[in-house]
Amino acid sequence: TQPAMPQRTNPLGQPIGEPVPNWTPRPRPPRTPMQGRLCRLEPLDAATHAAALHAAHEADREGRNWTYLPYGAFASATEYAAWVESVQSHDDPVFFAIVDLATQRPVGVASYLRIDPAMGTIEVGHLSYTPALQRTPASTEAMYLMMRRVFDELGYRRYEWKCDSLNAPSVAAAKRLGFRFEGTFRQAVVMKGRNRDTAWFSIVDGEWPALRAAFEQWLDPANFDATGAQRRRLEAFR
């Protein structure tokens, strides 16, 4: 084991954090596409995406994908389009549609939110993956592309993931993607008339280079067999 780093102190002998030299506020995330090999994220737009997204969500006949989101399910394409119109111009959250490059159809939504340029922190959320996107390599690539923009393009220090502590698939996804669990905020939210304890996860900039390498190795076509099944799990590359 490596020896522990000595605690930094001020002239009063009080312990203080490590310096962050030459820190400046970071840019806000731009409304520009993020292009991958399997998918593209582009600014969410009702006229372009709403009808196809609603149709893709219809495959989730029981509405399971909406249980832990503060909105939905939507009774009609018109209702869903109205929701998209209400959020598509927001500066926070900034919403993106996830487009499957094989079909050129939108199959999910993601956003940046709780954006704090001064402190260099930003959250990913409002994830609504249709059945066509769930458990596909493109679903992982979309998260990689959003992380790459945050850390490599914009230089943020901290990337957050928060979810209902009872949302087991979201908790598992956060851990699989490399987020570290930080704790549970009890009775944090009243959502759809019920309590939500919120689980907090994060990735910080010092962890990103190793995570980026793991994502890129996992996403490499050589990691998938002729049927599209992964040869090695993402966690195996970390």
Q: What is the per-residue pLDDT for 2?
A: 65
Q: What is the per-residue pLDDT for 1?
A: 65
Residue whose entry in the numeric block shows the structure tokens 């699989």: 176
- List the structure tokens of 89: 């111009």
Q: Please, what is the end-to-end C-alpha distance for the chain in angstroms?
A: 19
140, 223 Cβ separation under 8 angstroms: no
208, 190 Cβ separation under 8 angstroms: no
180-191/158-164 β-pairing: unpaired
- 92 vs 86: CA distance, rounded Å: 12
Q: What is the per-residue pLDDT for 225?
A: 95
CB atoms within 10 A of CB 153: 14
109, 87 Cβ separation under 8 angstroms: no
pLDDT in tens, 3-55: 677 899 999 999 999 999 999 999 999 999 999 999 999 999 999 999 999 99
**pLDDT, one tens digit for every residue, the chain (238 residues):** 666 778 999 999 999 999 999 999 999 999 999 999 999 999 999 999 999 999 999 999 999 999 999 999 999 999 999 999 999 999 999 999 999 999 999 999 999 999 999 999 999 999 999 999 999 999 999 999 999 999 999 999 999 999 999 999 999 999 999 999 999 999 999 999 999 999 999 999 999 999 999 999 999 999 999 999 999 999 999 9
Q: What is the per-residue pLDDT for 6?
A: 82
Q: What is the per-residue pLDDT for 4?
A: 73
- 131 vs 136: CA distance, rounded Å: 9
